């Protein structure tokens, strides 16, 4: 069935559940979200709705065909493209990357000779993955090749394959492998292998494709809830593999329906074998807390059901897609506020309660003294940014210290209150990262060796702030 036919049936479907509509209105107000697009697919029925406005400067109503920057949801599309090439026997997940890129140079030669696509797809390559001094490698078809040439300066933070730590540049490298194997640019390969077969006619990577369409722009939330349009709008070309997809909620739900199925597009075209599609959904290695890394997906168990998800975050835009294959359920939301993560999480939680009968438990802060509070105090750093953790009574204070990113809004984030949880994790209690959870590893000297927050592992630098 084509996307147009699905959209027609969606308009004929029952009205959106009033409790969901009420929730969306509430969370948009609470988290200062000017606009949000919602897509919900459940057992053959589909709802596509827009809420709010595209921009505070040039406002238009959000609808199902409004273009958003999908951010890191793009990684699932890159992973699907890799899986398609594996399915065709043009790639193998467990061969060294140098099989395809013999000139690959990394800071650690042993890693350069051994790293595989599976390491990249599961964020376990171990090198510093974010914030290049010069993240713009041009607009030409050689952008990714030029970016990969700079990887020889990427510090190796952890041994290859040892830990899950979110790594954007690993997907840059995977994107370059796609280019070499297909003989096309990354964008052209994804369009041919994924967008066109799935009928995703409103998904692309370049601003020139978006300029004739209705577009949502990102917003930075300032003091008192004041909104400022975030610039730049889309990502540099080399970053396309990690977060550059431009899409609509209608296309995103069409993509989600494909991942709920058996590898067939809506018109019956086989894009992947069922075995290859389902291989993406298998847990590969432990990630943060109860989560596992799949091939491109975050995988988690909920009341005996496998749940797949991935978020996206880019300069004032936030998205989330969540799938429950055995319930034929998909829910996605794309929003144009830098604080929309919690809104997207609340919408997904509603769908899980409604259609699965359960949702993830809220973290419960502990209220008593705990020796791990002192063990956590200190500074933890990656080359691009650091965090400092201080003890505040029976709670924690977490300061996030990012390096400035050129041409980006770099707001100062004040210390955020946090706590240990009854599960032995960390949860941020207030502020822009409210609800974000983390974990940590205590070494033989009883001090914490590293903290994983926001998906990234930060090694300890000192036992005290400053």
* Residuewise pLDDT in 10s, the chain (466 residues): 444 555 444 443 458 999 999 999 999 999 999 999 999 999 889 999 999 999 999 999 999 999 999 999 999 999 999 999 999 999 999 999 999 999 999 999 999 999 999 999 999 999 998 866 566 799 999 999 999 999 998 899 999 999 999 999 999 999 999 999 999 999 999 999 999 999 999 999 999 999 999 999 999 999 888 999 999 999 999 999 999 999 999 999 999 999 999 999 988 999 999 999 999 999 999 999 999 999 999 999 999 999 999 999 999 999 999 999 999 999 999 999 999 999 999 999 999 999 999 999 999 999 999 999 999 999 999 987 899 999 999 999 999 887 655 545 555 678 999 999 999 999 999 888 888 999 999 988 888 999 999 899 999 997 654 4
Task: Say how far apart CA 316 and CA 310 lie, in whole Å.
Answer: 17
Task: Say how far apart CA 69 and CA 369 lie, in whole Å.
Answer: 44
Task: Say how far apart CA 385 and CA 391 lie, in whole Å.
Answer: 21
Structure letter (DSSP) for residue 291:
-
Residue 195 has a CB neighbour count (10 Å cut-off) of 22
* Alpha carbon separation from 438 to 77, 167, 192, 441 (Å, rounded): 26, 16, 38, 11
* Alpha carbon separation from 156 to 47, 383, 459 (Å, rounded): 45, 10, 12
Sign of torsion over alpha carbons 341, 312, 348, 21: positive
Bridge partners of 311, per DSSP, are: 320
End-to-end Cα, the chain, rounded Å:
59
Bridge partners of 332, per DSSP, are: 39, 321
């Amino acid at each position: 069935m084509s996307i147009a036919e699905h959209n027609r049936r969606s308009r004929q479907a029952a009205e959106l559940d009033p409790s969901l509509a009420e929730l969306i209105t509430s969370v948009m107000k609470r988290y200062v979200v000017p606009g949000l697009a919602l897509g919900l697919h459940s057992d053959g029925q589909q709802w596509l709705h827009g809420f709010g406005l595209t921009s505070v400067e040039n406002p238009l109503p959000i609808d199902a065909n409004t273009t958003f920057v999908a951010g890191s949801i793009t990684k699932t599309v890159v992973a699907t493209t890799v899986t398609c090439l594996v399915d065709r026997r043009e790639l193998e997940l467990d061969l060294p990357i140098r099989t395809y890129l013999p000139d690959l140079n990394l800071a650690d030669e042993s890693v350069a000779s051994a790293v595989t696509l599976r390491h990249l797809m599961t964020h376990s390559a171990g090198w510093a993955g974010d914030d290049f001094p010069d993240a713009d490698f041009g607009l030409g078809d050689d952008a990714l090749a030029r970016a990969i040439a700079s990887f020889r300066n990427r510090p190796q933070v952890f041994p290859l394959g040892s830990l899950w730590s979110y790594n954007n540049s690993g997907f840059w490298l995977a994107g370059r492998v796609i280019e070499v194997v297909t003989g096309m640019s990354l964008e052209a390969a994804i369009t041919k292998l994924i967008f066109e077969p799935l009928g995703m006619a409103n998904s692309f990577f370049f601003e020139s494709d978006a300029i004739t369409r209705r577009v949502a722009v990102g917003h930075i939330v300032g003091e008192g809830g004041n909104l400022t349009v975030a610039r730049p709008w889309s990502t540099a070309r080399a970053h396309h593999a990690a977060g550059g997809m431009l899409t609509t909620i209608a296309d995103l739900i069409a993509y989600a329906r494909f991942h709920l199925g058996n590898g067939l597009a809506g018109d019956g075209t086989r894009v992947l074998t069922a075995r290859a599609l389902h291989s993406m959904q298998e847990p590969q290695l432990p990630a943060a807390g109860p989560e596992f890394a799949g091939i491109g997906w975050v995988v988690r168990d909920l009341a005996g059901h496998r749940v797949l998800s991935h978020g996206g975050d880019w300069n004032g835009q936030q998205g989330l897609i969540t799938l429950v294959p055995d319930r034929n359920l998909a829910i996605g939301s794309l929003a144009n506020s830098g604080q929309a993560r919690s809104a997207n999480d609340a919408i997904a939680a509603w769908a899980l309660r409604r259609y699965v009968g359960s949702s993830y438990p809220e973290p419960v802060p502990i209220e008593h003294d705990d020796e791990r509070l002192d063990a956590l105090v200190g500074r933890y750093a990656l080359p691009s940014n650091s965090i400092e953790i201080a003890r505040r009574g029976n709670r924690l204070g977490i300061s996030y210290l990012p390096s400035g990113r050129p041409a980006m809004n770099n707001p100062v984030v004040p210390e955020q209150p946090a706590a240990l949880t009854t599960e032995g994790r960390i949860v941020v209690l207030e502020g822009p990262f409210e609800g974000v959870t983390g974990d940590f590893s205590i070494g033989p000297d009883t001090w914490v060796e590293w903290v994983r927050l926001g998906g990234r592992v930060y090694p300890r630098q000192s036992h005290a702030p400053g």
